[in-house]
Amino acid sequence: RGRPRTGPNRQEINTLWMDLLGANEIMQQEIRPLLAVDIIEQLHRQFALLSGGRGKDGAPIITFPEYSGFGDLLDEDFQNVVTYLTSIPSLDAASIGFVIIIDRRRDKWSSVKASLTRIAGAFPGNLQLVLVLRPSRFIHRAIADIGIKLHRDDFKMKVPIVMLNSLSDLHSYIDKGQLTCELGGNLEYCHSQWIHHRTAIENFAVTVKTTAQMLQKFGADLAETELPNDVLCTKGLLSTHTEKHDKLKDELKLAMTQGTTLLGCIKEQAAKSENHKLNPDEMENQTTVERLLAQLDETENAFEQFWCKHHLKLEQCLQLRHFEHDFREVKVSLDSLMEALPVLSDIGDCVVRVEMLLKDLKTLEEKESLEKAQLHALHGDQLIQSNHYAVDSIRPKCVELRRICDNFANEARKKHDILSKSLQIHMGIDKVRWITESGVYILASQSVDKCQSQEGAEAALQDIEKFLESAKENQLSDLKNIHNQYELVLTADVQKALKRLEDVKEMFEKRQVSLKKLSAKQTRPVQPVAPRPESSPKRPAPPKTPRTTGPASGKSRPTLFLCFFPLTLPRHIMNELIETERLYVEELQSIMEGYANELDNTELSPLIPTALENKKDVLFGNLPEIYEFHNRTFLKELENCMERPELVGTCFLKRKEELQIYEKYCQNKPRSEALWRHCGDSLFFQECQKKLDHKLSLDAYLLKPVQRITKYQLMLKEMLKCSKNQDGTAELEEALSTMLDIIKSVNDSMHQIAITGFEGNLGELGKLLMQGSFNVWTDHKKGHTKVKDLARFKPMQRHLFLYNKMLLFCKKREDTTDGHEKPSPSYSFKHSLKMSSVGITENVKGDIKKFEVWYNGREEVYIIQAPTMDVKNMWVSEIRKVLTGQLEACRGIHRVGVLSRHIPASPKSLMQHQTPEHTVGGAGGRTDGLSTLSLTHPHMHTPPPCCHPPAVCTNRQLCRSGDPTS
């Protein structure tokens, strides 16, 4: 994919910004210019002013008003103020030259001399004219006239120095409109306001420059940014850049507001009166602010254009990362589908099996993975049409998804065609089998003695003709046609069925010939030589070994016997079991060698994520133990059953204890999956997967044990279907029951580990017998009076766990995981009942799915509603077993010396003394028609007190209920 940058390079960015900002000379200066804020104190002294007036030819006027401390000014202060004032007018105005007015009417010649000398030596701009208002007192004026003549050359000024006697003389040089009121003019000038405007303009100029530089730097950073390769980092980058952009936008808005406010203040001067006009300096100030605002607006527009392109690219990058992530997930699902397709058998061994295969095939075709793949490819097309920058990366993935979907559809179609043909053939074979078995049965049911008479022979002949007519109606020739059409499918089975059909046909033809001969002549009855079949059969009898019985005369005669062709146990189921077991062992070995052992490989240690350190047992659980069992023991024992499949049930029964190891593996699976989600995308696992050349990642292989333990019972079911009334059937049934119990135990244990809040040790409660969710109502004798009323209306949702020693009531909660997965349940402990103090009522009036569990002689009653009758019956049965077991244990402990006080010691005599309403598990006796499991004495209406001290009594509940064995 590569990691392209998000925009143009740094050189292009710098060029872009410099072009935008080139019109502003302030921003072009590398050395910071002198600003009003730098000399604000000196400007406030007012020893030099730029009032905004102009000479006759537009030359800027700088006025040096009367200032008592002019001679005491530092050269640096004078230099800075004069330099700053000469930098304010435009270049065009400054090039004309400045007009200097020195007002010394109240001063002495020495002051005039000092002023001229300092100006001549320090004035930085071009001079056009120097006007001096000489001292007004006679003596100082005379001295000034003489002094100017004597020292004119000393001032080193190449411009005229005009000594003026009065303001009227000044007005002959400068128009009154360009002079302030102090000089007899009418030009409005406020020095403090002038300083304020200059400071504000310069601050705004600096703000514009700083903002532009910030935008330039941000743009350069954006141009150098590399696009991330995952969704999370791309989201973070998009969020960070957007946040910075928004912050800069706020800065731009503030700068624009600042400039707009400043421009309004300047224009406010002109709005004071209709005749008022801004002086040239004020006009230049207005022009400067307007130019800065225009530049700021242009900069903002250019930045927004650049940001829109950058933001679009980031959004497209995020779209691409989402697309790639979803593509990988969909690709894994599609690969899994493609792998599942060849596993389905092409032909099957019977009609039921083929129908199951067709159903499984339809399930695969309806998997949402295919729809997701098509939708994802469509999403890719939409990205391409939207001019996405990564078209070259998206288009091949869309093509790949559609290719896999098309391949799956084609392969599924082929397999469907073959299975449909196979189904037709199997149905034809079944029809042939039914016809042949029925025909053979008809032949066998025709007794020899009846056929010796003409009437018997004709009746038997009619049966045969009816059968042949029926066989013709069933179109047995269809099987031949189907076979000729699909000659590559089930050839051996079809040949076998057709051979059987030919054999039966031949038998019928021979019997027809014999019966026709018998019906054509009278013969005397003879003794039968074959055993008579059962009378009036409804279906063909099972195969029997044919016998030959000789007649009384001792001469042998030909006999009729039933010939069967029973199907043997399908070897392919056994072959499939062994082959898949071998593959399973190989996969476990690859996990152990390719992943678990590699965690100890020093060469790969830098790639191992820190979260995985010392967590091998968490990730893999007891997988090594499972691998050793299957590799060393179970696979070899299954292979020994290859020639004798009837022993496979015994093989499973023999190893049922070892197969319990899957319970520990499944209990650890949630921890393993959580660890995988945290570090599964690390380079370590990618490297291991690459070495193994696995298409799927490790988490898919860690699911293999869970899938395998559930697969055994399916194979046992298939074997059992084909092994009815054969050797080993009983063992197969027991093995199937054992595997289902193991799966149930694993499932129950997965729920048990999710129990929270129980302070005791669950391991001390005995075996977990049942678990499930119910509606529960409470009805307690002790407690609030409204409890009974509330109980009948609003049930509690409770998840019950039944142990040998205790019944737990928990509340199920759905806890969401850290991803895009189904929520995992947890069970918050609420209440518990000791089974030693529990009683049960099987039926509750009004609802057949309800039963009661009561505690301490019905002090606490829990009405439990099961979701179905089957669930209720299973729970009631299991609770009955627990209570009955407690009774038997109590009887065994206290039989000696106790039973003699009440009733005979034998269980038989005990049951004889119990009436139906009190028999364990009885269903009668209650006036409300409900059955109750109770262990009370049959002749006591109220429970007697316990007959033993607490230290001796082992079952207080039985004592309270009056059980005689307690």
The string of DSSP codes covering 431-489 is HHHHHHHHHHHHHHHS-HHHHTSHHHHHHHHHHHHHHHHHHHHTTTHHHHHHHHHTTTS
Report which secondary-structure segment, H or E, holds 268: helix 231-270
Exposure string (b/e) for 307-327, b if CB count within 10 Å is 16 or more? Answer: beebbebbebbbbbbebbebb
Determine how many CB atoms are found less than 10 A away from the CB of residue 184: 14
Per mean pLDDT, which of 100-109, 343-352, 408-417, 448-457 is the most reliable? Answer: 408-417
DSSP characters over 640-673 = TTSS-GGGHHHHHHHTTTGGGHHHHHHHHHHHHH
Distances (CA, A) of 734 to 356, 713, 714: 24, 11, 14
pLDDT of residue 655: 92
Of 345-349, 659-663, 953-957, give the lowest mean pLDDT range.
953-957
Angle between helices 391-445 and 351-365 (to 10 degrees): 160
Q: How confident is the model at residue 530 (pLDDT cuts 50, 70, 90)?
A: very low
Go through the chain and tell me how many residues it has.
966
Residues 364-369: contacts with CB under 8 Å, at least 24 apart: 364/337, 364/340, 364/412, 365/409, 365/412, 367/333, 367/337, 369/330, 369/333, 369/334, 369/336, 369/337
* Over residues 12-22, mean pLDDT: 47
pLDDT of residue 834: 92
**Six token digits for residue 756:** 């929270």
Return the residue matching tokens 């759905």: 814
Higher-pLDDT residue of 755, 927: 755
Higher-pLDDT residue of 897, 574: 574
pLDDT of residue 840: 92
Q: How confident is the model at residue 283 (pLDDT cuts 50, 70, 90)?
A: confident
d(CA 657, CA 491): 43
Of 296-305, 367-376, 513-522, 744-753, give the lowest mean pLDDT range.
513-522
3-class secondary-structure state, position 226: strand
pLDDT of residue 436: 77
Q: How confident is the model at residue 10 (pLDDT cuts 50, 70, 90)?
A: very low
pLDDT of residue 894: 60
d(CA 179, CA 175): 7
Return the residue matching tokens 């000038």: 189
Of 401-405, 626-630, 763-767, 955-959, give the lowest mean pLDDT range.
955-959
Of 49-58, 735-744, 943-952, give the lowest mean pLDDT range.
943-952
Higher-pLDDT residue of 650, 916: 650
Do 785 and 804 meet the contact criterion of CB atoms below 8 Å apart? Answer: no
Distance of CA 828 to the CA centre of its chain: 25
Beta strands 850-855 and 838-841: pairing type?
antiparallel
Indicate if the pLDDT at residue 890 is higher than 80: no
Distance spanning both ends of the chain, measured CA to CA? 80
Indicate if the pLDDT at residue 845 is higher than 80: yes
pLDDT of residue 698: 92
Amino acid identity at 854? W
Report pTM.
0.41
Degrees (nearest 5) of the Cα angle 460, 464, 465? Answer: 115
**Six token digits for residue 683:** 């380079």
pLDDT of residue 781: 67
SS3 content of the chain, % helix, strand, coil (to 5): 60, 10, 30
**Six token digits for residue 271:** 């709005």
Write down the number of H helices and E strands in the chain: 33, 13
pLDDT of residue 689: 92
pLDDT of residue 936: 37
Amino acid identity at 184? G
3-class secondary-structure state, position 869: helix
Indicate if the pLDDT at residue 1 is higher than 70: no
The phi and psi torsions of 731 (rounded to 5 degrees) equal -65, -35
Per mean pLDDT, which of 460-469, 486-495, 641-650 is the most reliable? Answer: 641-650
Indicate if the pLDDT at residue 759 is higher than 80: yes
Q: How confident is the model at residue 486 (pLDDT cuts 50, 70, 90)?
A: low
pLDDT of residue 658: 92
pLDDT of residue 61: 92
d(CA 919, CA 522): 71
pLDDT of residue 672: 92
d(CA 293, CA 300): 10
Of 208-222, 529-543, 739-753, 846-860, give the lowest mean pLDDT range.
529-543
Nearest to 566 by CA among 743, 437, 755, 749: 437
The phi and psi torsions of 63 (rounded to 5 degrees) equal -110, 135
pLDDT of residue 725: 67
d(CA 639, CA 292): 91
d(CA 966, CA 953): 8
The per-residue pLDDT of the chain, averaged, comes to: 77
pLDDT of residue 542: 37
Sheet with 161-164, side-by-side order of all strands: 61-64, 98-103, 127-133, 161-164
DSSP characters over 126-172 = -EEEEEEE--SSHHHHHHHHHHHHHHTGGGT-SS-EEEESSHHHHHH
Higher-pLDDT residue of 598, 282: 598
Q: In the chain, what percentage of residues exceed pLDDT 70?
A: 74
Indicate if the pLDDT at residue 935 is higher than 50: no
Distances (CA, A) of 707 to 286, 348, 662, 666, 716: 82, 22, 11, 11, 15
Determine how many CB atoms are found less than 10 A away from the CB of residue 479: 20
**Six token digits for residue 851:** 């039963």
pLDDT of residue 506: 79
Indicate if the pLDDT at residue 45 is higher than 80: yes
pLDDT of residue 940: 31
Do 864 and 876 meet the contact criterion of CB atoms below 8 Å apart? Answer: no
d(CA 119, CA 703): 95
Residues 6 or more apart from 749 whose CB is under 8 A from it?
663, 666, 667, 768
pLDDT of residue 661: 92
Question: Which tens digit of pLDDT belongs to each residue from 212-267?
Answer: 888 888 888 888 888 888 899 998 999 999 998 898 889 888 988 988 888 888 88
Of 19-33, 103-117, 475-489, give the lowest mean pLDDT range.
19-33
pLDDT of residue 434: 77
Residues 6 or more apart from 485 whose CB is under 8 A from it?
421
Residues 6 or more apart from 201 whose CB is under 8 A from it?
262, 285, 288, 289
Residues 6 or more apart from 218 whose CB is under 8 A from it?
244, 245, 248
Determine how many CB atoms are found less than 10 A away from the CB of residue 191: 15
Question: Which tens digit of pLDDT belongs to each residue from 591-641?
Answer: 999 999 999 888 888 889 988 988 999 999 999 999 999 999 999 999 998
Q: How confident is the model at residue 375 (pLDDT cuts 50, 70, 90)?
A: very high
Report H helices in 836-913.
869-894, 899-902, 907-913
pLDDT of residue 821: 52
Sheet with 755-756, side-by-side order of all strands: 755-756, 824-834, 806-815, 796-803, 768-780, 860-865, 850-855, 838-841, 932-933
pLDDT of residue 877: 93
Report which secondary-structure segment, H or E, holds 374: helix 368-385
Q: How confident is the model at residue 539 (pLDDT cuts 50, 70, 90)?
A: very low
Q: How confident is the model at residue 652 (pLDDT cuts 50, 70, 90)?
A: very high
Indicate if the pLDDT at residue 567 is higher than 50: yes
Residues 6 or more apart from 913 whose CB is under 8 A from it?
903, 904, 938, 939, 964
The phi and psi torsions of 803 (rounded to 5 degrees) equal -110, 170
The phi and psi torsions of 816 (rounded to 5 degrees) equal -75, 145
